[in-house]
Amino acid sequence: MKLGLTSVLLTALLAPLAAAAQQLPPAQPPAPMPTPRSDAPMLQVHANEVLVPTLVEKHNGDVIYGLRQKDFILEDNGVPQKIRVQEEMDTAPVALVVAVEMGGASVLEFDKLAHLGPLLDLFLADHRSQAALVGFDSQPHLIHDFTHFSPEIGSALQQLDPGDGGDAILDTVSYAVDLLESQPKEYRRVLLLISEERDHGSHHTKPAQLIRKIGRSDVLVLSVAFSPSRAEFLHDVKDNGDNRTMSMISSLFMLIQAFKKNVAKQVATMSGGEYTTFTGDRAFEKRVVENAKHVRNRYLISFSPSDATPGLHTIRVRTAQDYGARIVARADYWRTPDP
């Protein structure tokens, strides 16, 4: 068995990377989403509004429910904003893209991925929610289009083939965001990224480009990474912008550097999602279960920025009253020039 695994791993690591230079495959048109019921909760966010998914939980992991608009304070580049808090959004359907790395050393994680299927039911808790599966090595591949039937995704996860030596995370996140943004606005758009921390082989998306795309999107990124490094990085998932006094240009530069160190962590932090790591099977399942739980327990805060300056803006979210809570909210967004 050891020889067989070593042979597969070497094949994956030494495979030619010529495919990396090819054009990314266009996203296949997802299957039509069901027509939302007229009584379904609608996410009312206009083009000039920024969506800030926000998780508020106690240190024991219990979510704090019942908070309203008056209970939150949101600052855009240090300036308090007038906000709106969407109520009863836990019933909104989910559009989920599961993006799994198939290149390089990821073959060692295939056994864990094979058991992921049943856990997806935690995301697809109602008959309207759907999931799609993207695999990636030096480029992303749409393995299974959007479906309500999670066993189809589970079956595909059990039949993954090792890819080449790349893990083009930047290209794949960009590709997945495009897939999700084709879905109806009332759906919670979620990307579950299972990968290494660093990008190897993206040729079509630069860090600054992905920062802009994530910053303009309402996609929530949940990163579950393997082979974690011990290094300390610029941002922590709990960082909501405290003590940020840097200019937009310096903030962007530092964020680009952080993307190069740990892109899986930074896309999650930017979007208001969570970044976790795992080593064993039980830890992997626990991380996925926690992420699924938190998807539907986020407050959806939105605001129209008072500062129209184009570029990277930093966000800080806190509660008006000190609950001693852990708050996870998006750290940045990208302001485009007004037409």
Whether 170 is covered by a domain: the verdict is yes
Is the same domain home to 165 and 285?
Answer: yes
Q: What is the pLDDT of residues 241-281, one digit of tens each?
A: 444 444 556 678 888 888 988 999 999 999 999 999 888 88
Question: Beta partners for 94?
Answer: 188
Structural domain of 78: 50-89+298-335
Listed in sequence order, the residues at least 6 apart from 42 whose beta carbon sits closer than 8 Å to its beta carbon are: 36, 185, 186
Q: What is the pLDDT of residues 120-177, one digit of tens each?
A: 999 998 889 999 999 999 999 999 999 999 999 999 999 999 999 899 999 999 999 9
- 104: its two tokens: 């390089």
Is the same domain home to 55 and 178?
Answer: no
User: What is the CATH number for 177?
Assistant: 3.40.50.410
Please tell me the distance from the alpha carbon of residue 319 to that of residue 327, in angstroms, as a whole number: 9
Is the same domain home to 122 and 260?
Answer: yes
Is the same domain home to 307 and 254?
Answer: no
Is the same domain home to 143 and 215?
Answer: yes
pTM above the 0.85 mark? no
Is the same domain home to 122 and 218?
Answer: yes
Is the same domain home to 105 and 153?
Answer: yes
Whether 10 is covered by a domain: the verdict is no
The count of domains in the chain is 2
* Packing angle, helices 207-216 and 169-181, rounded to 10: 20
- Residues of the chain short of pLDDT 70, as ranges, are 1-47, 87-90, 227-250, 338-339
Is the same domain home to 79 and 177?
Answer: no
Question: Beta partners for 167?
Answer: 200
Is the same domain home to 121 and 254?
Answer: yes
Please tell me the distance from the alpha carbon of residue 65 to that of residue 79, in angstroms, as a whole number: 26
